[in-house]
Chain A
């Protein structure tokens, strides 16, 4: 499968997972977004020598995977991309420090994975809008996301057509760099005009309307505060060591 086909396949898989995610999907997107950010900040704030303390952060993804009944497969695939780079940076550090770096890499990617699997991009954009991110950026993210699949399929067809005319050739030849990509670009620009006209026909007046524009409920605020408390506890109290000492 080509790189483009892989990307299309992954996007469809994420979409189907977002539809299937149960209890976690119903939670407030803003709450999930803030929880993810707080978790990531806590994970990266650990000292590089504190591998045991870092390990305690596994509790969040563990709970989420169990509660949300999430698939582990795609997550492992994602982690596989980043680990070599993290190892490369950490290779000159002492072994303990490198372990902490790898753990940080795994946990932060897992947190982002949990967020995207349980929250659709529209909901994340609605959450960003509630955090007062400029409308233009939120709209752009939504539009890019909407047209990525369309353009990926178009690019895939073009590249396939090219490779059928140039069998056995790896990639696009030097002479075709400009014309091939330029043609796709010109078609994309024309498509943008058609997109704009169709958006206007459907009532677009410069801003999108989100379904999730309600304020955070008291329950959500309480959950967020509790989560912050747990994160502070895990950050400053070595839970694993205390439990270990107690057991021994």
Chain B
């Protein structure tokens, strides 16, 4: 997935360098905070390890082909996302300079596609949440495979976007994506299994080396129940009230299909039962078509969003309370 210089335009390269530099700057800051002098040599040797072991061919049973380790996921599972990200930068820089694996100008793209997703998305959103309440073999296998598949898919999609944005190929984005994604799905699954095998071995032999395991076992949750509810209410109000202004005025998928077949937005009910049901709905619906009955303005839509959000939150809360009550009674 290493991109060559010939495949990126200077503007795209500069953008991706900026994005990667921001992530690198943040990681440098975070790694410095740890202030462990032994950490840098460990990162260096781990980088060399990933580089060296990526050259081992692992036979995939029943296929006759072979795969290799997923560096980003392995590094972040051992060093953590920030140190893992910096180590991956080092590996990619050496691969680009010494082995022409990826270009100097495309380095920003390659860091983003391979290191950012692997280390940040893979470690923060997949590995850590799955390991928070303790690790076991199956959790490690699941986290590794899901992590590798998801991060490789994101990386492959980014390659398609960057190449298309560079105007290098006249291949439509959809066709490019339809070629790249399935290939990387298979690669991701295999890389995930290999990475899982190594991490399971480490878990059995030296579990203290794995990052993010048992992080949340003895800790209180980061946010209290009250704070979580307040944040959810604010988020719902912002999404419902603010973003509903940007909601599409075009018909949704079903409406579009109906429009294509009948030439109208909705199928008019002709039967007596349908008419009766429609009249009941008309009377009870506070917000027909997500707008306040009497107004059709933008403010009306926005107000509808806020009211809708409040209604959904209230409904969910009631549902959860009923569920809790039901469970308590059951116990």
- Chain A residues with CB under 8 Å of chain B are 3-4, 7, 10-11, 14, 36-37, 40-41, 43-45, 48, 78, 81-82, 85-86, 89-90, 92-94, 97, 101-102, 104-105, 108-109, 111-113, 115-116, 121, 124, 134, 136-137, 139-148, 150-152, 154-155, 159, 169-174, 177-186, 188-189, 191-193, 195-196, 199, 206
Closest to B172 in A: A92
- Contacting pair B45 A191 (CB below 8 A): yes
Q: B169 at the A/B interface (Cβ < 8 Å)?
A: yes
- Contacting pair B52 A148 (CB below 8 A): yes
Q: B285 at the A/B interface (Cβ < 8 Å)?
A: no
17 A-B residue pairings within 8 Å (CB atoms) = A7-B55, A40-B104, A78-B100, A92-B171, A105-B5, A109-B100, A112-B103, A121-B98, A141-B90, A147-B44, A170-B64, A171-B66, A177-B197, A178-B200, A180-B56, A193-B38, A206-B40
- List, in ascending order, chain B residues with CB within 8 A of A92's CB: 169-171
Q: B58 at the A/B interface (Cβ < 8 Å)?
A: yes
Binding site secondary structure of chain A: helix
Q: What 0/1 pattern do residues 80 to 104 of B give for CB contact below 8 A with A?
A: 0000001101110110111111011
- Contacting pair A188 B168 (CB below 8 A): no
Task: Compute the total of residue contacts between A and B using a CB distance below 8 Å.
Answer: 244
- List, in ascending order, chain A residues with CB within 8 A of B152's CB: none
Alpha-carbon distance between A143 and B86 when the two chains are bound, in angstroms: 13
Instruction: Give the residue among B4, B69, B89 with the most A Cβ atoms within 10 A.
Output: B4
Alpha-carbon distance between A211 and B94 when the two chains are bound, in angstroms: 21
A134-B55 in contact given A108-B4, A143-B41 (Cβ < 8 Å): no
**Besides A41-B105, A180-B56, 17 other CB < 8 A contacts?**
A40-B103, A45-B9, A93-B169, A108-B105, A111-B104, A115-B97, A121-B98, A134-B25, A137-B86, A142-B44, A144-B47, A144-B87, A171-B66, A177-B193, A178-B200, A181-B197, A193-B41
CB distance from B4 to the nearest CB of A (A): 5
Instruction: Give the residue among A10, A169, A192 with the most B Cβ atoms within 10 A.
Output: A192
- Contacting pair B163 A143 (CB below 8 A): no
- Within residues 39 to 77 of chain B, which ones have a CB less than 8 A from any CB in chain A? 40-49, 51-53, 55-61, 64, 66, 69
Tell me how many residues of B have a C-beta within 8 Å of chain A. 71
- Contacting pair B48 A147 (CB below 8 A): yes
Closest to B14 in A: A41
CB distance from B12 to the nearest CB of A (A): 10
- Chain B residues with CB under 8 Å of chain A are 4-10, 13, 24-25, 28, 31-32, 37-38, 40-49, 51-53, 55-61, 64, 66, 69, 78, 86-87, 89-91, 93-94, 96-101, 103-105, 163, 167-171, 193-194, 197-198, 200-202, 205-206, 209
A152-B6 in contact given A78-B100, A172-B57 (Cβ < 8 Å): no
Closest to A125 in B: B93
- Contacting pair B53 A189 (CB below 8 A): no
Alpha-carbon distance between A246 and B200 when the two chains are bound, in angstroms: 70
- Contacting pair B103 A109 (CB below 8 A): yes
CB distance from B124 to the nearest CB of A (A): 20
Closest to B11 in A: A45
Closest to A108 in B: B5
A140-B56 in contact given A81-B100, A86-B6 (Cβ < 8 Å): no
- List, in ascending order, chain B residues with CB within 8 A of A137's CB: 24, 28, 86, 89-90, 93
Closest to A149 in B: B48
- List, in ascending order, chain B residues with CB within 8 A of A124's CB: 97
